[in-house]
Structures are given as structure tokens and as C-alpha cells.
Amino acid sequence: MARAATTTDPFNAVAEPRRRQILDVLAGGERSVNDLVARLGLMQPVVSKHLRVLREVGLVDVREAGRQRIYRVNGRSLKPIHDWVRRYEDAWNERFDRLDTVLEDLKREEVGDGSEDA
């Protein structure tokens, strides 16, 4: 399947494990670059490079606070990715809801005839 360049496609941008790590940290709240560097244990230029890509595809927003640049996740831009996976997740939920019923029957079988809560 052909994909657009990383710099224009959020799907591609999140394919990079370190960028996903950055998004995971930012999911917990906005962070400065230094904060991200400390939490991820990566070199500052590496973090800055990934942040630039994430900004270009609109996955993160940045604001200035004094001399600091504070980054946060742009939830709206993650929505297409979330939607894409959610349909697949729905299919598993439908399966597992039926598995729940099977398990209830197996539990009853195991208890045998002494089922007080039948």
C-alpha cells in the first residue's frame, strides 16, 4: 500500500517507535522538551527531530512559555488513526461478548447441579 511521506501522513509519523513513545508521554499532559528528554532518556537533538515531524503532521501542538517550548498532543489529528483501529476493535468486542456467554455456561457446568444462583 502506497503511503504519503512521513511529513504529511500522521499514520506514517506514528509508525516510528520513538515518536510513539513521545506521544505516550504527552498523552499524560503537556511537557517541555527538557522534560521529554529526561523522561525518555534520549538525546535532546533526537527528541527535537521527532517533535518537528510530529508538529509537521499536526499530531502535536507547541506553545511558548518564557524560554521554554511546551508540547501537547493534538487529539483531533489522532482521530483518523483511532477510528481506523476502532472498527477492528469492535469486531473483537463482538467476538469476546459471545465468548463471555460461553464462559458463563462453562462456569455453571463446573458448579454442577448445586447452583444456588441459577
Can you list the positions of beta strands (E) in 1-118? 31-32, 60-65, 68-73
Span interacting with other proteins, options 33-41, 43-51, 62-70, 89-97, rule CB under 8 A: 89-97
Q: Which of 29, 45, 66, 101 binds other proteins (CB under 8 A)?
A: 101
* 50 touches 14 (CB < 8 A): no
- Tell the smallest beta-carbon distance from residue 27 to other proteins (Å): 12
Establish if 76 lies at the interface with other proteins (CB under 8 A).
no
Angle CA 20–71–46, to nearest 5: 55
* Total of chain residues touching other proteins, rule CB under 8 A: 27
Bridge partners of 71, per DSSP, are: 31, 62
Applying CB under 8 A, the residues found at the interface with other proteins are: 1, 15, 17, 84-104, 106-107, 110
